[in-house]
Amino acid sequence: MTSSVGIVTTQQITFDTELQLESGRVLGPITLAYETYGSLNAARDNAILVCHAWTGDAHAAGRHHPDDRKPGWWDDMIGPGKVLDTDRYFILCSNVIGSCKGSTGPASINPRTGKPYRLSFPVLMVRDMVRAQKLLIDHLGLPSLLCALGGSMGAMQAVEWSILYPDRVRSIVPIAGTARTSPMAIALNAVARQAVFNDPLWKKGNYRAEHPPADGLALARAVGHISFLSDASMHMKFGRRFSARDGQFDFFGKFEIERYLEYNGYNFPARFDTNSFLYLAKALDLYDTAWNFDSLDEALNLMQCPSLWFAFTSDWLYPPYQTEEAVRTLEKLGKPVGYHLIDSDYGHDSFLVEPEKFTHLIADFLAQQHS
């Protein structure tokens, strides 16, 4: 019998330190928002770090208020008796730096000026996000992580943990990830960026919070949603149906897929900061496991822990061959690695839409690591 973790609270902690970034710049002090579920055992060896995707946050499970319409974004996975069993594991989810969900990002106040950073915020890499997470892990007194896992940008973070801190993470589970962002994925983000830049309300990042460049950000988010779906899932969900509210020969009439993109696009500016969206997109574009190494082999050779990788047949944002490149490299290096290609029609979003197709494999993997 599974159940929810119940009512949870997002916590914040500020580290009065300066973080050396991959760009050569420094960022500090560092505030991180995070949530925890379950309890540490006596040995403090049952901690699992859940890493969120691009526009995710620390609220991975439970509800903040009893009347919340939706629980945390991975509530199906986290809780008593679930895959990430809070009766067995201590689950931690931290909002990445660069975001706008409680951690230090471009909308935060720069202590040196007393004004929001905006575009004075430094460009980040995923590796920087992980270094900030390490501050939190140390603060919580965790000698190591049983596992770091996540999907999409969360997969990138999990891999970086195994390379940066191989003595602090005992396993990783990258889901729907890539070893390096492809030119096609960068191109999609370039179109999204241009949509924001062309909105006159963007004002080179100096927009007022109450008047964001909503049109540009909505279009940018629509581009993202297209990349998260697949041809098959669009046929299943929308087909060629015309919106019931429009006349088919109305010039401005829309198909259902257009209405979907419009609805999700215009909901987005109310909950996510535009500059944060752009900074995180840049971090995704810059992602390369081999960054500052001579090769992917040299980078992945630092990984000491077992890893379990997942890709999805219809994912065209980070297609299976990209995951398989990393898996083959690890196999060549003699590292303990597992891989599953999951048959799903839901594109990149498969890891959120059909978790039942692969979560039992994660549960078995974690049980082996904690036995």
Binding-site residues for substrate, in ranges, read: 221, 349
CA angle, corner 228, sides to 290 and 97, nearest 5? 55
Q: Spot the catalytic one: 99, 233, 348, 350.
A: 348
E strand or H helix at 361: helix 359-369
Distance (Å, whole) CA 316 – CA 280:
20
Pairing mode, strands 307-312 and 337-342: parallel
Under 8 Å between Cβ of 129 and 157: yes
Is 364 one of the annotated active-site residues of the chain?
no
Distance (Å, whole) CA 29 – CA 22:
17
Distance (Å, whole) CA 226 – CA 92:
30
Is 348 one of the annotated active-site residues of the chain?
yes
Is 59 one of the annotated active-site residues of the chain?
no
Q: Spot the catalytic one: 85, 288, 315, 345.
A: 315
Give the residue from 281, 257, 267, 269 showing the smallest Cα distance to 216.
269
Write down the H helix ranges in 204-304.
214-228, 231-237, 256-267, 274-286, 296-300
Q: Spot the catalytic one: 4, 99, 108, 152.
A: 152
- Known binding residues are 221, 349
Active site residues: 152, 315, 348
